[in-house]
Amino acid sequence: MLAAAAAAGRRAAAWVRSLPAPPLPVPVGDWLAVELPAAITAAMSGLDPEECDHMAPDGRVVDGTGGVDAATISTLAAVPVVLAEAGWPRTSMRRSWRSPPPSPGPCG
């Protein structure tokens, strides 16, 4: 399952890299072409079910990261903000995107 997730991450990163560049050179173009695909690949290839949310022996809930480091999580969390501020991709391009069905992921 983790190998399949890593492969899906590589495909997703390749897809992001294949998006057309913004019409004018802007910082978001570099972010999309380099940082975001790298973060996708890092997150999906580093998943660790042992690091998922869980209950500690004393009953406390422990927030897990799934094996993804804080810098990668920060990059991925910025996606909606960065794209909204950039005004790119065009609305027509966004409408054509199809989300795959949700999968349970390594944390079940």
Nearest to 22 by CA among 75, 93, 80: 93
Q: Going from the first residue of the chain to its last (108 residues), give the mean pLDDT of each consecutive group of 10, the final group possibly shorter.
A: 88 86 72 88 91 92 91 91 70 53 52
**pLDDT given for residue 92 in this prediction:** 60
| pTM: predicted TM-score of the whole model, two decimal places | 0.70
Report how far residue 19's alpha carbon sits from residue 17's, in angstroms, rounded to the nearest whole number.
Answer: 6
